[in-house]
Amino acid sequence: MLHVPASHGMTLPLPHLYERVARHVPPMEWEIISGDIQAILDLKRRRNAILLAHNYQSPEIFHTVADIVGDSLALAREAAATDADVILLAGVHFMAETAKVLNPDKVVLIPDEKAGCSLAESIRPEDVLALKAKYPGVPVVTYVNTSAAVKAVSDVCCTSGNAKKVVEALGVPRVIMIPDEYLARNIAAQTDVEIISWHGRCEVHERFTPMDIAEIRDIYPDVTVIAHPECPPDVVAASDFSGSTAEMVGFVADKRPARVALVTECSMGDNVAVHYPEIDFVKPCNLCPHMKRITLSNIRRALETMGPEVTVDPALLPGARLSVERMLAIR
Ligand code: 13P
Ligand code: SF4
């Protein structure tokens, strides 16, 4: 292990990795967590494992042990393409399930099985079947933030990064879009396709209000406001741009605003800020308690014990896989 001098005269381990998170992790904390980081790096090599991390993971996971980082769409694409033997999802359960659906013969690990999602919890397969019976022939576009069982009875999946494209690719005048009511309404505002929605909400994004945006603009009149499309439509309308977490990163990279407010989960701003020290990040953030269940110590434990392993009922695999693959085929 390489060491560099720390501010208190001691040496710091893994200096090349510490540089990436120095803004967020004090040297004393680094000395504690670097043991887990080194162990994870060694275990990944030994297990031929790939670690996929969502943009909402904490900087000490995102910038040190992750092989691939991105939004749900990017993580699904990477899961479909990997030749690793083991996939560890530093994200929430539906993301790991999607990876398993695409790789039924690989080992897929999630460090904490309780890392759920309020959207995935909001709808069951029987609800989808009832919607289909109520609107015969209307295709069901299902956000990836759902269980494999729900995907299995859907026609095609979408993410916040491709929802409009998927809805329009179907070439029909009307679709059912589940389960996020706000995402459905935000997409409906951008397309002529009629959208029938469900009443699911993201517990993190539903809490933002137009008043939050007004307050930020009052304090920072020059701020550029970017909101995730799981936010209420009046929040999106009050923002300058809306897009998936990867589209938010792309916007910051392209436009380089002097000051930006990311209206989304807290770690997003921290992770992007590492690459743009010249940009002032205003963070009106809410924490996703599910994403925050993933830690360096449970990632290490998952790779040591090869569990908890994500499984999907084989009966659900063909239907769920078709929905995800149809989405991935839409470019
Ligand atoms: P993205 O697909 O934009 O990364 O969003 C996933 C998610 O869970 C946001 O809350
Ligand atoms: Fe689910 Fe919202 Fe957390 Fe994303 S931020 S995982 S949508 S609860």
What is the whole-number distance in angstroms between the Cα of residue 28 and the centre of ligand 2? 31
**Percent residues over pLDDT 70 in the chain:** 97
DSSP, residue by residue, 174-197: EEEEESBHHHHHHHHTT-SSEEEE
Q: Is the CB of 204 under 6 A from ligand 2?
A: yes
Residues 210 and 253 in one domain: yes
Residues 126 and 85 in one domain: no
Check residue 164 and give its pLDDT.
98
Residues 103 and 9 in one domain: yes
Residues 134 and 231 in one domain: no
Check residue 1 and give its pLDDT.
41
pTM: 0.95
Task: Name the residue with the closest Cα to ligand 1, atom 2.
Answer: 72
Task: Name the residue with the closest Cα to ligand 2, atom 2.
Answer: 202
Residues 145 and 196 in one domain: yes
Residues 181 and 141 in one domain: yes
Within a domain: 320:
no
What is the whole-number distance in angstroms between the Cα of residue 307 and the centre of ligand 2? 23
Total count of domains within the chain: 3
Residues 69 and 161 in one domain: no
Each residue's pLDDT tens digit, 95-117: 999 999 999 999 999 999 999 99
The gap from C-alpha 258 to its chain's centroid, in whole angstroms, comes to 25
Q: What angle do CA 320, 133, 190 make, to 5 degrees?
A: 70
What is the whole-number distance in angstroms between the Cα of residue 81 and the centre of ligand 2? 24
Averaging pLDDT over each range in 8-12, 24-28, 92-96, which range is the top one? 92-96
Within a domain: 29:
yes
Within a domain: 315:
no
Task: Name the residue with the closest Cα to ligand 1, atom 7.
Answer: 72
Residues 197 and 209 in one domain: no
Within a domain: 318:
no
Within a domain: 322:
no
Q: Is the CB of 34 under 6 A from ligand 1?
A: no
What is the whole-number distance in angstroms between the Cα of residue 212 and the centre of ligand 2? 19
Q: Over 90: is that where the pLDDT of 280 sits?
A: yes
- Can you list the positions of beta strands (E) in 45-155? 49-54, 68-70, 86-90, 107-109, 140-143
DSSP, residue by residue, 14-32: SHHHHHHHTTTS-HHHHHH
Give the ligand 2 atom nearest the CA of 120.
Answer: 1
| N residues, the chain | 331
Q: Over 70: is that where the pLDDT of 3 sits?
A: no
Q: Which domain covers residue 72, as residue numbers? A: 3-115+291-305
Within a domain: 330:
no
Each residue's pLDDT tens digit, 33-69: 999 999 999 999 999 999 999 999 999 999 999 999 9
Residues 295 and 253 in one domain: no
Residues 220 and 172 in one domain: no
Q: Is the CB of 224 under 6 A from ligand 1?
A: no
Residues 130 and 176 in one domain: yes
Q: Which residue in the block uniquely carries the two structure tokens 């919607």?
A: 131
Provide the β-strand partners of residue 88. 51, 109
Residues 236 and 268 in one domain: yes
